Amino acid sequence: MYLFSIEGGDGSGKGLATQIVNEVLQSEFCFTSVEATAEPRRGHALGRLAIESVRRQKLTPAEEAGLFAADRLDHSHGWILPRLQEGKAVVSGRNIHSSLVYQGIVGGIGLERTAQMNSAALIPDLCIWVDCDPEIALERIRKGTLRGLSSKEEYFETSELQIRIRDGYRQLLSGDLEMPTPFDMGAILGPISNEGTQGQLRNSLKEAIRSFMNSRPNPINVETEQVDQFQIRSMVRESQNQSILSDIGIAPAKTKLGWLDGKAPWKILKSAQESHNKFLSSMEEEPPNRQNNPKNILNHSMSSVCGTLSLINSAEISELRAAMGPVRCVSKRHTQRIIQFLEELGWVYRRKTLVGREAPKSHLRDENLAFGRLVLAIWPLRQAIRKWQSLNPGTHVRFSMGQIIKSGRHERALVDTISRLTILGSGFEGKSPPDNIESLVDWWLGK
């Protein structure tokens, strides 16, 4: 879903930074997987052509830039984009900013011309700028393993040129030069110094990644809704293929088509809200540390945990978070809190498997399956429904869908909800999912 690029001069530590960023993303956030890559691609013909052009030094900077751009364009749409669409994170050692610096600034062809050559390439969501004194970087190249791994003798191994490259990064990434369109859309973090210990670099990179991810930015190259629909479709397909629960040997209820149990969706929502509100009222006398519970079942964390559990038979915390994906992600600590709350509410139960020493797995009770599946279907409309309820406290929730439609402000969310129902099914045995706005209202009313 997000493309991360690691930038800096030769020997600045981009390889180590790529490894650290990869590890942080895998351990702390809810991506289906994190995959590392680099540009130019040494294992691809286009990338090798670009590398060879630098080694031979027989082409003009513009011709070199064209080869790097060709490799990047093919890499962007043939390898990176399909992974982003599946909810994966991609960490790239070098990307567009390298061309802007090496060919655009140092090579002298200009930022605008370089950007134009690369205009069809993907845009890094976050560029992490790793900085290092050129003398230290060159010493690493000469004494370390960099030479053997990447033939750095083919590159720019002079202090004077490395100083120009470092200054080019400083001008471009610190804002002294205007970032050309469309690459001004991405975020930039840095400079992050790599002149100290690996531990210091790791800590700096962790803070940078956490700062970016916790701000919940919209991805630049893919739509979050399409990513989430892809992951829901994958979970539905997997649940349909699973005929029994391997650990206790009973048929899973989560594969049934009539998941609404014959009830109108608005009734499912109303019943869940009443159950939740009644439980919160019973906890009013609890100590302050027990009162920090979710106040609305349509908030992000409650919706994510219940919705995700409605599509998987059982999961311990790490499995649950992996199934959430990057759109529905909830932090590990908060996921644990929500699971504990749902246990107390009576919607979820946990048990240990009969075999092995795995962590306890959480299960959404069958009677709460309808709400979990429903909240996944109406995920794009959650905020609109919450706002409607707050503005119309005396009006029955069954009228919410029609009035949201009449407002004319949520066309995209309504279309996305219809698309989700195409994946999840209508919830009624023998009924097709709604295929237009009018039939969506009928579905909401249970007609």
Same structural domain, 204 and 230: no
Listed residue (130, 129, 122, 128) closest to 183, CA to CA: 122
Mean pLDDT of 219-244: 87
Question: Pairing state of beta strands 348-351 and 361-364?
Answer: antiparallel
Domain end: 163, 189, 214, which one? 214
| Single pTM value for the model | 0.87
Other C-beta atoms within 10 Å of 285: how many?
A: 7
The reply to whether 325 falls in a domain is yes
Specify the higher pLDDT residue, 408 or 161.
Answer: 408
- Which single residue is written with the structure tokens 């390898």? 79
Domain boundary among 214, 234, 262: 214
Q: Is the pLDDT of residue 169 over 90?
A: yes
Residue 219 lies inside a defined structural domain of this protein: no
Domain count of the chain?
2
Q: Is the per-residue pLDDT at 246 higher than 50?
A: no
6 pLDDT higher than 80: yes
Give yes or no: residues 140 and 277 share one domain: no
The last residue of a domain, from among 186, 214, 242: 214
Residue 204 lies in a domain: yes
pLDDT score recorded for residue 152: 44
Query: Per-residue b/e over 216-227, b at no fewer than 16 CB within 10 Å?
Result: eeebbbbebbeb
Helices (H), 183-331: 198-214, 224-241, 265-282, 300-309, 317-324
Proportion of the chain above pLDDT 90, given as a percent: 74
Residue 88: which region, alpha, beta or left (left: phi > 0; alpha: psi -120 to 50)? Answer: beta
Predicted local confidence at residue 147, as pLDDT: 40
Distance CA 301, CA 329 (A): 8
Q: Residue 72 maps to which CATH number? A: 3.40.50.300
For residue 258, tell me if it sits in a domain: yes
Q: What is the pLDDT of residues 104-125, one digit of tens each?
A: 999 999 999 999 999 999 999 9
pLDDT above 70: residue 332? yes
CA 329, 332, 333, 336 dihedral sign is positive
pLDDT at 238 over 70: yes
Can you point out the beta strands (E) in 66-152? 89-93, 126-131
Range of lowest pLDDT (77-86, 150-159, 232-241)? 150-159
Q: How confident is the model at residue 303 (pLDDT cuts 50, 70, 90)?
A: very high
Identify any residues that bridge with 364 across adjacent strands, giving them in sequence order.
348
Q: Which structure tokens are listed for 234?
A: 């994958």
Domain that holds residue 113: 3-214
Q: Are residues 238 and 198 in the same domain?
A: no
Q: How is residue 142 written in tokens?
A: 């000469």
The strand pair at 126-131 and 89-93 is best described as unpaired
